[in-house]
Structure formats: structure tokens, C-alpha cells
Structure 1
Amino acid sequence: MAGGVAALALGHALWRLAPETTVYGFDRSLLGGVHLVSSVTGFAVATWVAAGTGRWWSRGAVSGVFAAVCWLAVPVEEPVHRWHLARGFELLGVPLVAPDLAGHGLYWAEAPIVGGPGEPVLMLEYRRRGAETVGGSRRAVQVLVRRGSDLTAAEACATPYNAESWEDNRSAGGCQAVSRDRWVRYGWEGRVAVFVRSGSALVELESHGVEEAALLAAAETIRLIPAEMLGRWHHMTSTVAFHRMRK
């Protein structure tokens, strides 16, 4: 009985600290090691303490350490998950860059998916400060960062991420050059996207509710963004969304 309780307690603590498999790109079956470690350790500690073969203080010390590990998992869960997310963004293989969009703040950073079947991409969403819930994503600015490889901004405009969403009969305008390294694509219902190459990154800024001039201005402000900041933002916004769904 004591061994089962100890194994469950340790397993619960370890699961709090385990990363999502997509963050590091490993098979989910490997997380079975959490069950194995918690079961073996929990039963071993409970059996040894109950047997009374060691000195009383050594049994007390082991029990205390075991309890501390289980208890500490609660306060360290959040920083550990932020750390995992930051490492995932670093492993994504995409330059971590973002614009400074006037009047807007970073609202959402899509969790990194390492080793997925599709093209790796950093997906960010910016919303107007003080009016984040007005208009939802249609009034927001979506920023997609891809690996530059050998593509130019013109080629990125011709082959945008999620190209199927642009293949609409109502799509208007196609791609137009603003400058040698700035291209704009126009879609239906006011959709507009700016494509720019920044170092080794291809950056796409698009929106239904923000004017082309604002997107072009934002394209001039692209700079590096720390992986820790992305991890913090994703964790924070995911937590807020979770609590909203529970209400």
C-alpha cells in the first residue's frame, strides 16, 4: 500500500515537470520512463523505510528528501515548463526574430513543434494594446518566420506559408514589389501580407485589419527576440486561455 502511494506521488510530481514531446521532437512512448522511474523509486523507498533496516535518522532523511521532491514539483512547475519551451524554440531551427509593431503587443506565440512533418515555422500574433479582445485574430497581425535558405522575398510571396488559404477565387492583386526586398500580397476581404528577408529569415506579416503601410513600417523594425521571452509568453497566454475555458 505504502509503495503504491509513494509511486503515485512521485509519478504525479515528475509528470508536472515532463515536457511536451513536440518541444524536443521525441516519441511520446519515451515518456513511459516517467512511470518506470516513479514506480521503481517509490516502491524501493517505501519498502526500505518500512523494513527498518537502517538507522532511524537515515530513514527519516530519505523520507524527507522523497517528500521534498514531490512537494517542490509544484512551485517549480511553471519555470521548468518555460525553460522547456525556450529550449524548444531554440531547437526549432528558425531564426528567432520579431517586429516592433507600433501600438501592438505580442499576444500569442505558437508552441514550437520540433521534428514535425511540415516546414518549421515561428508563429506569432500581435494585437492592439488595450483592445486585445476586439475583433479577435482578424484585427490582429500574424507574423510567420521561416528559414530563409535561398528564397528571396519575391519567391516567398509567390509561395507563402499555408498557400492554400490564398488560393481563393476572390483573391485580388497577387504579389507586387514595393522595393527590391519588400513584397506585398493582397487577398480577399482586405487581407494583406508583407514579405521581407531579414538576415537568414523570411518574415511574413499579414492581417485583415491593419493597413499595408503599418506592416511595411513594422518590417523595418525586425530584431532578435530571446527564446526565453517566447517561452514565457506562450506559457502565460496558454494559462490564461485555460482558465477562461474553465469559467
Structure 2
Amino acid sequence: MRSLKGAVVGLMVGAVVAFIYADAIAQEHELGTILNSVLMLLVPFPLGAAGAALLRMPRWGAVTIAGPIATSVLGAALMQVIPDFYLFGFDEIWTTGVWVVAGVLGYVAAAWWVRDRWAAITVTGVLLSVHVISGQVRDPLNEWQESLAFRRSGIPLLAPKMPGYSIRRAELWTGDEDGTAILLEYARPGRTEVQVFLRPATAATPKAACGSPYPALRWGTDGVSCTPSGGDRWIREDSSGEVAAFARHGSALVQAAGVAMTPQELFALLDSLRPVTAAQLARV
């Protein structure tokens, strides 16, 4: 009965916290989400107190304090280990379910935490262990998720191998209206960064890609010139000074761009492309 009452209160609290979190997502992480974050921490106290009192939970006053704390600890731990919605292409709104689960488990834990001293010690130990373990597995799990997403993307896994260039970023871009792509970002001392986008060769021809680079919203149309460079390779020069090269490399459509770069430098970069593993990209 103790656990059931805790679960009922936790379900109520978790549902409200999930609603607040969903509102934060809808605001697209603007400044208004600061208020949502504060509400997620504060609302469980009066709401949990009312629920615990109505259900006449034993030592409901202590549950009022322990429940929100346990919910916050479990929610933060679960958020670190759930699948990445961006990498796997599901709607972020589904992550709100984490707070419902955290609320139910948190208030069940609180119901037992107030039972006696040994129960309090055990529950506290479990919560601390969950918090520590989630922090330890977060990075390896994220790397595994990214590696899996790279493998499932259907995009040839390639990377330039040029002396003096160091990779700074490797990401899978999904959900863009122009489709999925892999972004590789490189830099060299004293030079601006170079961005390489990899897409399946079926996404477009190099000529078409030159006319509409990826991603579409980043590129303007004023002062643009697209010129062939032989072998179905194309060069695009913008009025801003950015130069981009487009070519096919096996079954991949490749776009490399950088400010103050020469076409020769960009094509040399594309010519140096070599197969890499998903694990290598995920470790960047």
C-alpha cells in the first residue's frame, strides 16, 4: 500500500513536470525555458504535499521533501541515458515521458525512505548509485549511439587525410529539409575552418548541389557563380568570399567549403578522402 500510494502521487507529479518540460520544448529553448526549469524544481513540493496528504501517506510531510528530490535525481539520471532523439529521428516530445517515470519511481522511493533509518540509508544509497552510474555510462553510451547512428545513416563514411588538418567536429545532421548528411569540420593553424558535408550520391548531382548547397538556409543566392572544373567537379564562389567544391567520391556526394580557400586546396582535400569507421567518427 505504501508503494502504491507513492506511485499514485508520483504519477500525478511526474505528469505535471512532464507538461512543464513539454512547454519548454515548445518554446525552442528560448529564455522562457528558465521559468520552466524553476517550475520543474518547485512545483513538485506543493503538488506532492497535497497528494500525499489526501492519500494519508505515512509521514507525508517528510515525503513532501524526499519525493521531489528523488524525482529530480532520477529524472536527471534518466535524461543522460535515454536514446538521443536528434540522432534517431524521433520527436523530442517523447522525452517528456522520462519525468513521468522519474516521478513514479521517485515517490515510491520517498515512501520507503521515510519508513525508518535503515530504509532511508538504503534508498539514499540507491539514488546516489544511480546518479553516479548514469554519469559514468553517459559518455560511452553517447559514443555508442553516435556510432550506431553513423552506421544506420546510409551515407558512405569517409574523412580527409591531409597533413596539417585536424578534425574538430563530426556530426550527423538529420531532419533537414534537404535530407541527412554527415558534417566534418577541420582546421589548421592560422587558417579558417573547412566544413565537409557527406551525402549519398543519389541526393543530387555535383552540378545541382553547387546550385543549391547543403544546408539550403545557410547559403545565399546573391553574387553566386558556379563553374565546372572538369570531371563533374564544380566550384561555387559567394560574394562573402566563401568557396565550395562539389564532387562525387564513390557512392558519396561531397561538399567542402571554406573562406579564403582556393579551389585547388578544396579539391586536394576531397582527393584525400579515405574510408573511416563509425566508431572513429563517434570518438571525435
TM-score calculated relative to the size of structure 2: 0.65
Letter in 2 for 1:67: L
SS state at 2:106 partner: helix
- In structure 1, C-alpha distance between the alignment counterparts of 2:67 and 2:236, rounded to whole Å: 63
What CA distance in whole angstroms lies between the structure 2 residues aligned with 1:25 and 1:42? 29
Residues 1:100 and 1:16: Cα distance change in structure 2 (over 3 Å): same
What does residue 185 of structure 2 align with? 125
Identity, % of aligned positions:
32
What one-letter code is carried by the residue in structure 2 that aligns with 1:5? Answer: I
Structure 1 residue 11, shift from structure 2 partner:
1.4
Find 1:160's aligned residue among 185, 192, 213.
Answer: 213
Alpha-carbon offset, residue 222 of structure 1: 1.2
| Unaligned runs of at least 5 residues, structure 2 | 1-62
Q: Note the alpha carbon deviations across 1:126-173, whole angstroms, 9 max, x for none.
A: 111x44xx6xxxx222211122117443343344324673522x334x
Does the 8 Å contact 2:87/2:174 carry over to 1? Answer: yes
Q: Secondary structure at the match of 1:83?
A: helix
**Equivalent-residue separation in structure 1 for 2:178 and 2:267 (angstroms):** 28
User: Is 1:93–1:120's contact at 8 Å kept on the other side of the alignment?
Assistant: no
| Structure 1 stretch displaced more, 185-194 or 196-205 | 185-194
Change (3 A) 1:96 1:158: same
What is the aligned counterpart of 2:228 among 176, 191, 208? Answer: 176
1:9 aligns with 2:65: no
Change (3 A) 1:171 1:60: closer
For residues 18-37 of structure 1, what are the structure 2 equivalents within 5 Å? 18-37=82-101
Q: 1:41 to 1:150 in 2, by over 3 A?
A: closer
Deviates more, 1:21-30 or 1:79-88: 79-88
**Displacement after TM superposition at 1:123 (Å):** 1.9
Q: Distance in 2 between matches of 1:163 and 1:63?
A: 51
Q: Does 1:185 align with 2:228?
A: no
SS in 1 for 2:260: coil
Unmatched segments (≥5 aa) in structure 1: 234-247
- Give SS of 2:101's match: helix
Q: 2:272 aligns with which of 217, 221, 224?
A: 221
Q: Does the CA-based 8 Å contact 2:201-2:252 persist in structure 1?
A: yes
Name the aligned partner's letter for residue 149 of structure 1: T
Whole-Å separation in 2 of the counterparts to 1:205 and 1:25: 25
Counterpart CA distance in 1 for 2:80 and 2:154 is 27
Does 2:205 correspond to 1:141? no
- Once residues 8 and 94 of structure 1 are traced to their aligned partners in structure 2, the CA distance between those partners, rounded to angstroms, is 39
Bigger radius of gyration among the two:
2
- C-alpha deviation, 1:35, in angstroms: 0.8
Listed one character per residue, the Cα deviations across residues 43-93 of structure 1 (whole Å, up to 9, x for unaligned) are 2233245446xxx7x997666444311222223322223333333333444
Q: CA–CA distance in 2 between the matches of 1:175 and 1:67?
A: 61
- Aligned counterpart for 2:158 among listed residues 67, 72, 97: 97
- Pairing 1:73-84 to 2, within 5 Å after superposition: 73-84=134-145
The alignment covers a number of residue pairs equal to: 218
CA contact (8 A) 2:178 2:214 kept: no
Deviates more, 1:28-37 or 1:152-161: 152-161
Q: Is the 8 A contact 1:101 1:218 kept in 2?
A: yes
Q: Which residue of 1 aligns with 2:249?
A: 198
Q: Secondary structure at the match of 2:261?
A: coil
Q: Which amino acid aligns with 2:132?
A: W
Normalising by structure 1, we get a TM-score of 0.73
By how many angstroms is 1:19 displaced? Answer: 4.5
Q: CA RMSD in A?
A: 2.9
Q: Is contact 2:245–2:266 with CA below 8 Å preserved after alignment?
A: yes
From 22, 40, 44, the counterpart of 2:104: 40
Post-superposition offset of 1:34: 1.0
| Structure in which a larger fraction of residues adopt helix | 2
Partners of 1:187 and 1:116 in 2: CA distance: 22
